[in-house]
């Protein structure tokens, strides 16, 4: 997935279709000069609909489409003929998309399955024809209902990545390098912080033709839960991951302390993240000998851990084994 083509947030104006007007028609034919009311109903205005699609991975196609407008319904006509409904405007979005009201911030729904559809803005109802208003005491109503106007509302669409494993770590911890080595993903890699400015997804091959999806989330810094650095924009992607893989480099001043800072940022953002499976990988470990590893092990957190080096291809098979075990717990 090209990083410049990955868009996970859009704000769009949705205008549903106006309902068609009902008809105030009276029946007439060669033998009837003035028959009873037979005006048909107006058609419903078009809805704005979101539809989940497994073939769409980003909200890029909506980034520059600020206004989405559905068609109006057609008016009713004589002979009790109803007007045609306005054409719905259907927007295909990735699985994992959340729709919010832009004004209140309220979550309306989330798309979790392929083909799942939700109406994000309803079209206006069509007006009733004059046939609905006749009675024994009022046999010739000369009026009908107008159609309801459509609604114009601003909506926010956010994408939360659906991945089995989310990589969590400070900038320059080696997350992008690890993802590029264990999968076919090609994230941007350089020796400076915040190389990754957008999430990257990679499919990781495992034993016996099995696989799992790994997401490289842009680096967290202390204070990210309050919006510092890349902040809240990317923390939401971690919510959908089954397993959190914490990556701390072997040359860190205090591996356990860095892990606790990362964990604390996740906890402040969403306490439910503490219930997820956690793994610690100490990256860049090709610089360590066995004596140093033994010394570091004395102060590691009480979770599954492993020393790895993506560049030197050390410990990667064992890491996949641990990940697979945790995913399937």
**Cα separations (Å) of 176 from 133, 170, 279, 313?**
68, 12, 17, 14
With cut-offs at 50, 70 and 90, classify the pLDDT of residue 190: very low
Distance CA 262, CA 260 (A): 5
Q: What is the mean pLDDT of residues 194-213?
A: 72
pTM, 2 dp: 0.66
Q: Which residue has the higher pLDDT, 215 or 220?
A: 215
Give the pLDDT confidence score for residue 43 in this predicted structure: 97
Do the domains at 3-26+36-159 and 165-327 have one common CATH topology?
no
Q: Which residue has the higher pLDDT, 122 or 2?
A: 122
Hey, where are the domains in the chain? 3-26+36-159, 165-327
Q: Which residue has the higher pLDDT, 8 or 321?
A: 321
- Flag whether pLDDT at 282 surpasses 60: yes
Fold of the domain built from segment(s) 3-26+36-159: Spo0b-associated Gtp-binding Protein; Chain: A, (2.70.210)
280, 246 contact by CB (below 8 A) = yes
Phi, psi of 151, rounded to the nearest 5 degrees: -110, 145
* Closest alpha carbon to 47 in 150, 157, 126: 150
Which residues, 6+ apart, have CB-to-CB distance to 165 below 8 Å? 204, 212, 213, 214, 215, 241, 242, 243, 244, 245, 323, 327
Give the pLDDT confidence score for residue 246 in this predicted structure: 93
Give the pLDDT confidence score for residue 226 in this predicted structure: 52
Give the pLDDT confidence score for residue 54 in this predicted structure: 86
Please name the residue that has the structure tokens 């480099």.
249
CATH code for the structural domain at 165-327: 3.40.50.300
Mean pLDDT value across the chain:
85
Give the pLDDT confidence score for residue 229 in this predicted structure: 43
In residues, how long is the chain? 329
pLDDT in tens, 162-185: 678 888 888 777 777 888 888 865
Q: Which residue has the higher pLDDT, 106 or 223?
A: 106
Distance CA 62, CA 92 (A): 10
């Amino acid at each position: 997935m090209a990083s410049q083509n990955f868009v996970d947030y859009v704000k769009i104006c949705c205008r549903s279709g106006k309902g068609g007007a009902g008809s105030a028609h009276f029946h007439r034919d060669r033998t009837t000069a003035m028959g009873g009311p037979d005006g048909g109903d107006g058609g419903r205005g078009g809805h704005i609909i979101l539809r989940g699609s497994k073939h769409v991975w980003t909200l890029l196609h909506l980034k520059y489409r600020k206004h989405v407008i559905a068609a109006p319904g057609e008016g009713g006509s004589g002979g009790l003929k109803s007007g045609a409904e306005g054409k719905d405007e259907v927007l295909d979005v990735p699985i994992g998309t959340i729709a919010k009201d832009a004004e209140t911030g309220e979550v309306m729904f989330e798309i979790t399955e392929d083909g799942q559809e939700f109406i994000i803005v309803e079209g206006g109802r069509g007006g009733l024809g004059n046939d609905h208003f006749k009675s024994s005491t009022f046999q010739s109503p000369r009026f009908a209902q107008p159609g309801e106007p459509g609604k114009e509302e601003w909506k926010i669409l956010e994408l939360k990545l659906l991945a089995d494993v989310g990589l969590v770590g400070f900038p320059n911890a080696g997350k992008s390098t690890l993802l590029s080595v264990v999968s076919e993903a090609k994230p941007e890699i350089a020796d400076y912080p915040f190389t990754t400015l957008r999430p990257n997804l990679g499919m990781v091959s495992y034993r016996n033709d099995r696989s799992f999806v790994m997401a490289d989330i842009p680096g967290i810094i202390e204070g990210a839960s309050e919006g510092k650095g890349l902040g809240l924009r990317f923390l939401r992607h971690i919510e959908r991951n089954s397993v959190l893989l914490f990556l701390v480099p072997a040359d860190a001043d205090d591996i356990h302390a860095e892990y606790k800072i990362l964990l604390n940022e996740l906890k402040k953002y969403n306490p439910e993240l503490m219930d997820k499976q956690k793994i610690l990988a100490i990256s860049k470990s090709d610089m360590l000998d066995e004596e140093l590893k033994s010394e570091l092990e004395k102060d590691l957190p009480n979770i599954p851990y492993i020393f790895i080096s993506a560049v030197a291809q050390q410990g990667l098979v064992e890491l996949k084994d641990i990940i697979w075990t945790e995913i399937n717990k």
